[in-house]
Structure 1
Amino acid sequence: MYVAVKGGERAIDAAHDWLGRAHRGPQEQPAMDTAQIRDQMALAVARVMAEGSLYDPDLAALAIKQAHGDLIEAIFLIRAYRTTLPRLGASEPVDTAQMRVKRRVSATFKDIPGGQILGPTFDYTHRLLDFRLAADGELPVGPAASDTGAALNAPHVLGFLNRDGLIEDAEDDGAAPPDLTREPMELPADRALRLQALARGDEGFLLGMAYSTQRGYARNHAFVGELRIGMVPVELEIPELGFAIEIAEIELTECETVNQFKGSKSEPAQFTRGYGLTFGQTERKALSMALVDRALRWDELGEDNQGAPAQDQEFVLSHCDNIQATGFLEHIKLPHYVDFQAELELVRRLRAGTEDAA
């Protein structure tokens, strides 16, 4: 507690009132509905869920409304609320091969079982403002397939390379992964823990790290083996029943990259993997995550460390969390009167000593 700010409750209350008025906006305008935010700002909702580590579109929409559109503040609200929820159990690993796909593309193979599905994407749009949205708020849309995706025979594309031994196996040692939300991170971190940290890391930070690897600050010439978005069932084993039942269906984005690897004295030449998995339609985040994941694997793959930032797990994992970063950054806005006065007095004494010596 800062002694110097005692008695400032009235000012803080007034600041809260002002924030509320700014959040509401002009009274003659209709208030935003959380259902509108959930359905019409779905990409913002997806980011809040992914980085907030809680899959609930309604709560994410509420957090965005309460945060006045500040997504990091909304993520903070979701993280804080998440800590109040009881832990009922752990679900079975989701099987993304059973995804009801609404977007699925591969940059490595043109013809894939189930076909390529462009889905909802900005990739092929012109970056021009559409003033029809300002005029009447609506765009003409034609008939389309189900927005929740279609069930397809959609095996993972990298399985074709794995079948021929051209890419490393996706190994699973069967051990329960550590839980970053319940235990503090310890470095060095294994890949399971690193992926957890990256999954809820800041999208902008991971984008910058991923971009740096493409520009040569790591061994990371990647191809998108597959990017898929769709609905995946979540199952929970019920001890009383002795088998798992489906309890929910969630939207996920999964990205697998194919990376070059020259081989070693003990390993033949083969491709290696980068992996990203996030809540909602968050493909930029999932792709960035996959590139950074691969860059962090240099040690286990027997590669040289080029000293690139994306290869330094302590740097990446200690700085990718936007809630930690925001807290440490914004605390310097709070009063530091006593600290500053002490340093100011020290500078004055040093200057006085120098002047006396002169």
Structure 2
Amino acid sequence: MYVAVKGGERAIENAHRLLANARRGDQSVSEVTLDQISEQLGLAVDRVMSEGSLYDRELAALAIKQARGDLIEAIFLVRAFRATLPRFGTSEPVETGAMRVQRRVSATFKDIPGGQILGPTFDYTHRLLDPSLAQGFVPETPATAEASTAPTPRVTDILGRDGLIESSPRAEDGASVGDLTREPLNFPADRDLRLQNLARGDEGFLLAMGYSTQRGYGRNHPFVGEIRFGEVEVEFFAEDVGFAVPLGSIELTECQMVNQFKGSATEAPCFTRGYGLAFGQSERKTMSMALVDRALRARELGEEAVAPAQDEEFVMSHSDNVQATGFVEHLKLPHYVDFQSELGLLRKLRKEFAEANAPDAMKEAAE
């Protein structure tokens, strides 16, 4: 590392001080607080929690502040902190059908049980800069209602009643669930590990992979069956009392994508599913997840896997932004010995090349 360079340790210490000053910026400007980040940069906080695999808005806001707004660096910080936490067990599967819905839309049916709930979204806004936001803008009070607590059946359940979509897979009782945070990734990977990988994966990478399937690299023709965002209760089975106890509520976004499937020799034509789930309001992320999840099921459904998004090893090995960042950014660190070795080899090869071609050069000069 740079410590090996003369004066390197002092240089690194000063680099830390420079970073702290750059992070703070002009000290005549009020320092941003964690509450401000959490409340006003909520989508950035949601992304850091999802890809950092830790639901804690305050810690995610702190990581964003410490990282100067670099979300991948913030995700790295959250994961590093998460690795220090004790592990008490595994929560019960959350019931998204009982979600206290704040937003719920379907692109497949206009009228759905419980209705379409537009909620907070950019979908219908004009993409024009709003100068009023720079002047301490106070928004107009919106019409509000309590989040629905009535069970809202999923749109895919409507299709399922008529047998028009594949059954939702259910885990066997007592079946173990893989954990990418504690075990190395191996191939082939079951769907539980694939979905974990996608949930932690870089949103931009997944967006590109999902987009590629829509452009023909994977023969994906999707419909958004439903996107829902709201609060769900998390429960933990307490062995001491013999039943699950509630730990609290978290915000989640769930996307169920409906895809065409022509059937096979043993399976009748029906719709198939792609699935996405992430912390907070993460609609682009969960839609991309659902597209890639469906693409990765190609072999399972008897389809030819020819596109990058259908290649399990390619997608899962390159989706993690922390791992990718480490591998790319390590190139900034000293590689003096390696480069000198390469430089010596190149000079030797050039000398051998010149000697091998010297007679021809002399002959041409004589002519």
Same fold (TM over 0.5): yes
1:195-344 correspondence to structure 2 within 5 Å: 195-305=195-305, 307-344=306-343
Question: CA offset at residue 136 of structure 1?
Answer: 2.1
Question: CA offset at residue 202 of structure 1?
Answer: 0.1
Distance 1:276 1:356 in 2: 62
Identity across the alignment (%): 66
Q: Are the structure 2 counterparts of residues 304 and 130 from structure 1 closer, same or farther at C-alpha, using a change threshold of 3 Å?
A: same
Distance 1:52 1:193 in 2: 16
Question: CA offset at residue 139 of structure 1?
Answer: 3.0
Instruction: For residues 84-143 of structure 1, give each alpha carbon's deviation from its aligned partner in whole angstroms, at most 9, with x where no partner exists.
Output: 000011111000000000000011111111100001000000000000011224333334
1:23 aligns with 2:23: yes
Distance 1:84 1:16 in 2: 23
1:150-189 correspondence to structure 2 within 5 Å: 150-174=148-172, 175-189=175-189
Instruction: For residues 139-197 of structure 1, give each alpha carbon's deviation from its aligned partner in whole angstroms, at most 9, with x where no partner exists.
Output: 33334235xx3313301110011111111001213222111111011011111110000
Query: Could you tell me which residue of structure 2 aligns to residue 191 of structure 1?
Result: 191
1:58-69 correspondence to structure 2 within 5 Å: 58-69=58-69
User: Tell me, what secondary structure is at the counterpart of 1:151?
Assistant: coil
The question of whether the paired residues in 2 share the 8 Å contact of 1:113 and 1:153 is answered with no
1:351 aligns with 2:350: yes
User: Tell me, what secondary structure is at the counterpart of 1:267?
Assistant: coil
Distance 2:47 2:335 in 1: 34
Output the amino acid matched with 2:333. Answer: L
Query: Could you tell me which residue of structure 1 aligns to residue 8 of structure 2?
Result: 8
User: Tell me, what secondary structure is at the counterpart of 1:330?
Assistant: helix
The question of whether the paired residues in 2 share the 8 Å contact of 1:212 and 1:310 is answered with yes
1:134-149 correspondence to structure 2 within 5 Å: 134-146=134-146, 149=147
Q: Are the structure 2 counterparts of residues 341 and 181 from structure 1 closer, same or farther at C-alpha, using a change threshold of 3 Å?
A: same
Q: Are the structure 2 counterparts of residues 67 and 3 from structure 1 closer, same or farther at C-alpha, using a change threshold of 3 Å?
A: closer
Question: CA offset at residue 345 of structure 1?
Answer: 1.1
Output the amino acid matched with 2:351. Answer: A
Question: CA offset at residue 4 of structure 1?
Answer: 4.6
User: Tell me, what secondary structure is at the counterpart of 1:111?
Assistant: coil
RMSD, aligned CA: 1.2
User: Tell me, what secondary structure is at the counterpart of 1:150?
Assistant: coil
Query: Could you tell me which residue of structure 1 aligns to residue 56 of structure 2?
Result: 56
The question of whether the paired residues in 2 share the 8 Å contact of 1:133 and 1:139 is answered with no
The question of whether the paired residues in 2 share the 8 Å contact of 1:220 and 1:295 is answered with yes
Q: Are the structure 2 counterparts of residues 314 and 26 from structure 1 closer, same or farther at C-alpha, using a change threshold of 3 Å?
A: same
Distance 1:6 1:294 in 2: 54
The question of whether the paired residues in 2 share the 8 Å contact of 1:252 and 1:281 is answered with yes
Distance 1:103 1:3 in 2: 52
The question of whether the paired residues in 2 share the 8 Å contact of 1:132 and 1:139 is answered with no
> Structure 1: any 5+ residue segments left out of the alignment?
none
> Structure 2: any 5+ residue segments left out of the alignment?
359-367
The question of whether the paired residues in 1 share the 8 Å contact of 2:2 and 2:8 is answered with no
Distance 2:256 2:285 in 1: 12
User: Tell me, what secondary structure is at the counterpart of 1:248?
Assistant: strand
Distance 2:142 2:149 in 1: 22
Distance 1:131 1:200 in 2: 35
Distance 1:295 1:5 in 2: 49
The question of whether the paired residues in 1 share the 8 Å contact of 2:207 and 2:285 is answered with yes
1:71-82 correspondence to structure 2 within 5 Å: 71-82=71-82
Q: Are the structure 2 counterparts of residues 66 and 318 from structure 1 closer, same or farther at C-alpha, using a change threshold of 3 Å?
A: same
The question of whether the paired residues in 1 share the 8 Å contact of 2:2 and 2:9 is answered with no
The question of whether the paired residues in 1 share the 8 Å contact of 2:3 and 2:12 is answered with no
Instruction: For residues 325-348 of structure 1, give each alpha carbon's deviation from its aligned partner in whole angstroms, at most 9, with x where no partner exists.
Output: 000000000011111111111111
